[in-house]
Every structure is written in C-alpha cells, then in structure tokens.
C-alpha cells in the first residue's frame, strides 16, 4: 500500500491543488493522510478544508486548526491576525450557515493522533501532539528531547508543524531530504522521526510545495511547483492578512 502524507497546507489552495495533481499523476497512491494545519496564513481556508475533507482518509488537529476552533495561544501577531481573519470567514452563522457548521464541526472534531500498526501520526510531537516543535537542530542542542520521543514510539512517528522536511535517526541525527537523495529505505528494528514538511508554506528555503509518500519498505519526498505569485497577489488583496504571509512564500521561509 502506497500512502501520500501531506501537512501544513495553511490555506494555500494553489499549492494544495498542485500537490493533489502530482499525487494523482503517480497513479499508485491508495490513500492520502493529512497531519493538520489546514488553515492559517493563507487566503483560502474554506477551499482547502473542503478539498482535504473530500480527498483525505483522515486529517489531524494542527495548532492553527486548534486556535481557530478554540483560542489563540502563543502565536506571533501575524499568525494571530490570520486566525482572526479565518474565524470571521469560517465561524458558523449568517449566509451558508449549514455548510459552514459542517466544515467547522469537522475541523473541531479532528483527532490529535492516529496509530496504524506500529506507526504513529501526529501534527507536532508524541509528547505534545499539537504544539511541541521537533526541530532539525534538536539532535545537537536537545538530544534528551529526541531520546524521550524515541522512548514513546514503537517504530516511526510522522509529523509536520515545523515546515522543515527531514528524518531524525536514533543516533540522533537530522537528515534533510537532499542529503538522502529524496528517499529513505527503512531498516529492520529502527525507529525514525519523519517530518513530511509543508504543502502550503515550506520553510527550508525551497518555495516548492512538499509532501511525502510512504510504502512498507521506505519513504520518498516530492517537491511540486505551483503559481507562487498568484498566491502572493491574493494575500495582498485580502483584507485581514499581513502581506508577509504571501511574500515569504517566494523564498520558502
């Protein structure tokens, strides 16, 4: 079974559409799992939520999704402003109330984690499914955190949240996809922390959308071109969003 793993769409509909086209073109992907953060930063939260609801086997609760349906905690002003904009757009009531309510309730009820066999899927970390950041530098500067995470998992954990793709091994060491030739073959008995990156707002200095595909014996990363400038323009035209939510997409940061 071949699975596509997407995360951190952040209301970037152009990037999400491009990724789904790429997934379809592969022809052998049976399911798509989403690790959360459908909303925040971008101009098209409704369209992205609807497309994930339609195409994904499940979607997890991300920290921006949580902030939308609950309360904003620990966000910088730009991110907090984007959640306020999104809540005005998506909170049930007024025109199209039934559709808004169905979309809102689906987001609110998304689980924090899913386990499939020995593998775990969360947005952020096994220690804090929604909020904790597992960073590329942690194996060097906070190895105790990494060892604690490995103690909590049976095999692999798949995460998003940082928008930084890569694999942390038990050494511990972080490997970016480019260091791995964009692929990794699993070894019997090993455990891995695997960040699948971000569809809508990569932060590894590569503006292309990123997702991963998972098979029994390994994982591959995929980068997908999309029309970044159209999203930048759309953000600039959207009252309630900071222009930097768009312009940062040009540099993948």
Give the pair of three-digit tokens for residue 49.
Answer: 């939520």
- State the CATH number of the domain containing residue 183: 3.60.21.10
Least confident of 25-29, 93-97, 157-161: 93-97
Structural domain of 241: 3-251
Reported confidence tier of residue 97, pLDDT bands at 50, 70, 90: confident
Reported confidence tier of residue 77, pLDDT bands at 50, 70, 90: very high
pLDDT tens digits for 154-187? 999 999 999 999 999 999 999 999 999 999 999 9
Strand locations in 41-139, DSSP E?
58-59, 113-116, 119-122
Instruction: Work out the average pLDDT over 129-154.
Output: 98
In this prediction, residue 100 carries a pLDDT of 95
Beta bridge pairs of residue 175:
167
In this prediction, residue 2 carries a pLDDT of 97
Instruction: Work out the average pLDDT over 21-31.
Output: 97
Other beta carbons within 10 Å of 135: 18
Q: What is the mean pLDDT of the chain?
A: 97
In this prediction, residue 73 carries a pLDDT of 85
Name the domain count of the chain.
1
Q: Whole-angstrom Cα distance, residue 128 to residue 140? A: 21
Burial (0-12, 13-18, 19+ Cβ within 10 Å), 184: buried
């Amino acid at each position: 079974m071949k699975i596509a793993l997407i995360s951190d769409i952040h209301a970037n509909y152009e990037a999400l559409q491009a990724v789904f086209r790429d997934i379809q073109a592969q022809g052998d992907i049976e399911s798509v799992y989403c690790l959360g953060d459908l909303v925040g930063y971008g101009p098209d939260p409704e369209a992205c939520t609807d497309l994930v609801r339609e195409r994904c086997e499940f979607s997890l609760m991300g920290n921006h999704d949580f902030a939308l349906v609950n309360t904003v905690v620990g966000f910088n002003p730009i991110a907090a402003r984007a959640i306020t904009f999104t809540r005005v757009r998506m909170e049930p009531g007024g025109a199209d109330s039934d559709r808004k309510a169905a979309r809102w309730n689906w987001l609110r009820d998304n689980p924090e984690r899913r386990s499939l066999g020995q593998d775990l899927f969360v947005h952020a970390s096994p220690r804090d499914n929604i909020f904790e950041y597992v960073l590329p530098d942690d194996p060097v500067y906070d190895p105790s955190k990494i060892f604690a995470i490995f103690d909590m998992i049976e095999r692999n954990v798949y995460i998003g949240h940082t928008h930084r793709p890569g694999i942390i091994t038990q050494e511990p060491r972080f490997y970016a996809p480019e260091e791995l030739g964009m692929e990794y073959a699993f070894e019997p008995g090993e455990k891995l922390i695997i960040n699948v990156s971000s569809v809508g707002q990569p932060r590894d200095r590569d503006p292309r959308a990123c997702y991963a595909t998972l098979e029994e014996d390994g994982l591959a990363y995929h980068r997908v071109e999309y029309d970044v400038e159209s999203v930048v323009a759309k953000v600039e035209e959207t009252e309630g969003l900071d222009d930097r939510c768009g312009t940062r997409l040009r540099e993948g940061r």
